[in-house]
Amino acid sequence: MSAFGSNPNTPDAQAATRAREWQAALEADRLPGFVTTRLKNAAAGRTPWLSTMTPAELLLSRSHGIRPIATVSGTCWYHFGWSWTEGHAEGWHKALGRLKDEAIAAGANAVLDVKLRTTRLHGTGSSMDYTVVGTAVAIEGLPPSPDPVIATVPAIEFVRLLEAGIVTTGLAIGARYGWLTSGWSTLGWFGRSADLPELTNFWEGIRRQALQDLRRDAAPQGNGVLAHTHFSQIFKVEQNNQTPQILGRHIVLGTVVQTSADRTVPHTITPVVDMRDQLSPLRETAPRSHTAYGAQADEEGPI
């Protein structure tokens, strides 16, 4: 420590200053000044740009007048109150809103290749981190957009959709849960093999309601949805020696698109057969897939 007090330029002091700026920005629902400055410098070409695009996508994008500006992100650590299921929709909307704020600050027209990530840490209780990351891009001939397009598709698919007259416009989310309490345990679920129509109708109803929520969320943005990820759970809940209940929940997220109903695909479609074994994309999960909901997710908590 110097004779005039602590040094404000040490890494610890700078980190503390940034933390205070972030806290103030989150409370005011805005970006901190240093983030806005970084993004504006990237848009003006004063700093190197970062992108999630592959070299092939960069080449194809440039040929269509699409220029990457910067990698942008949005994060929300969300605490579940009344509903775990409905909290997921709110958490994603918060994170997407912050992603869009960064895209606006960068002067972007769209954010492509948006990846969705969730993180739960041991000891954090009923809470989860929602993070979205993508590449903010400018489109030649267009001014900066006050409402940039958010697209989960990579740049190469974005260009192909544009060629087909399909414009990605944003993301939509649907989430529903429900309880089944009437007589399901008498149907032999844990005994002999049998069809369970009551449980089947219950489960189908939840999924249909989640898709209705998805449609309502998508309606103001476009006229179609390309679903890219979903998450479902159904399990038995026993409390205080009461009759066991079944809790079911379904969450679905999709990319919203706008297209003309009478538009035809401009490309010739050629059927092909993939002759590869281990390398076939029909057998393996695509490396670009989202990790919003892992296959081993353990979420047996509140509704």
Full domain range(s) for residue 180: 171-268
Whether the Cβ atoms of residue 163 and residue 259 lie closer than 8 Å to each other: no
Number of domains in the chain: 2
| Beta-bridge mates of residue 240 | none
Question: Do both 191 and 95 map to the same domain?
Answer: no
Higher pLDDT, 85 or 72: 72
Nearest to 125 by CA among 279, 288, 250, 302: 302
In a domain, 140, yes or no: yes
Same domain, 111 and 15: yes
Tens of pLDDT along 42-67?
888 888 878 888 888 888 888 889 99
Least confident among 121-135, 143-157, 267-281: 267-281
Per the structure block, which two tokens stand in for 249? Answer: 């929940």
Cβ atoms 60, 93 nearer than 8 A: no
pTM of the model: 0.73
State both tokens at 135: 């590449």
> Is 57:154 a contact under the CB 8 Å cutoff?
yes
Q: 76 with 158, same domain? A: yes
Residue-wise burial string across 190-217, b where 16 or more C-beta atoms lie within 10 A, e elsewhere: eeeeeeeeebeebbeebbebbbebbeeb
> What's the length of the chain?
303
Query: Tokens 């404000």 appear where?
Result: 8
Pick the range with the lowest mean pLDDT from 166-175, 179-188, 195-204, 223-232. Answer: 179-188
Q: Does residue 182 form part of some domain? A: yes
**CB-neighbour burial class of residue 21 (10 A; exposed 0-12, middle 13-18, buried 19+):** middle
* Residue 289 domain-assigned (yes or no): no
CATH number of the domain enclosing 102: 3.30.110.70
Looking at the domain assignment, is residue 300 inside a domain?
A: no
List the one residue out of 229, 199, 184 whose CA is nearest residue 88: 229
Listed residue (233, 229, 228) closest to 250, CA to CA: 233
Chain segment 109-128, per-residue pLDDT in tens? 999 988 888 876 665 557 77
DSSP string for residues in 141-157: T-PPPSS-EE--S-HHH
- Same domain for 133 and 40, yes or no, is yes
